Amino acid sequence: MKKMLLSLMFWAGLTASSAWADPQMGEQFDQVAQQITTDQPAKIEVLELFWYGCPHCFHMEQPLDAWVKKLPADVYFKRMPALPNANWAPMAKTFFAMQELGVLDKLHSQLFDAIHKTKTLNPADEAAAMDWVIKQGGLDKIKVEKAFKSFAINMQMNKAMQTFRASGATGVPALIIDGKYITGSSMAGGNEAALQTADFIINNVRKDRAAKKK
């Protein structure tokens, strides 16, 4: 009888501990300021807002990449450069230019390294970023310059600015889940905690969608 009571106390304590450990709205995550339209409504979108010049974003890259590789089929991941002010515009433009030129996958991590590891690139210097993309991507100078100045990129920059404002983010890296919820390293208490919080939100969004289908 004593052993049974001890066992029940253990499981009750474990359940209480697990419930207490769950991320809380208003603490580890929150609702966005305005709902953000997602690219693939049939899936649960995770949108990372980041800045190449941010050391916290740089340190998030490795755990985030590992996490993304394990995402289930019903989850869609994308990145968007955060654009809260003009100082971050050069790197936002560089991201969109690399995307348009088809070298984003190749140069994304290298750009972080150039800023934070070798410290050979100033994230506020658009001309230097353009030269860097030309050299590292082995691309034609005129083609790269055209991409940086294109109308399409200006449209994407405007969208990035609007998305950041709608998210209500106060820092980066930030993760927007299903266009409705936001978490991040500073909110959750670290990079790993932010990813665990994202998992928690994804699971709840999935349950909510399943319940609505019944």
d(Cα 103, Cα 94) in Å, to the nearest integer?
11
CB 188 within 8 A of CB 28: yes
Nearest to 102 by CA among 133, 81, 125: 133
Mean pLDDT of 140-151: 97
Q: What is the phi-psi region of residue 132: left when phi exceeds 0, alpha when psi lies from -120 to 50, beta otherwise?
A: alpha
pTM of the prediction? 0.88
Res. 8: pLDDT tops 50: no
- Name all domains of the chain by residue range, CATH numbers in brackets: 30-213 (3.40.30.10)
d(Cα 129, Cα 131) in Å, to the nearest integer?
5
| pLDDT for the residue 107 | 98
| pLDDT for the residue 11 | 38
Q: Strands 181-184 and 75-81, how do they pair?
A: unpaired
Average pLDDT over all residues of the chain: 91
Q: Name the pLDDT band for 20 (thresholds 50, 70, 90).
A: very low
Residue type at 187?
Answer: M
Mean pLDDT of 56-74: 97
d(Cα 31, Cα 168) in Å, to the nearest integer?
9
Nearest to 103 by CA among 82, 129, 128, 126: 129
Name which residue leads in pLDDT, 6 or 115: 115
pLDDT in tens, 30-54: 999 999 999 999 999 999 999 999 9
* Residue 25 DSSP symbol: B
pLDDT in tens, 160-193: 999 999 999 999 999 999 999 999 999 999 999 9
Cα torsion through 137, 143, 148, 149, rounded to 10: 180
Res. 7: pLDDT tops 50: no
Q: Name the pLDDT band for 21 (thresholds 50, 70, 90).
A: confident
Say what percent of the chain tops pLDDT 90.
89
Q: Name the pLDDT band for 6 (thresholds 50, 70, 90).
A: very low
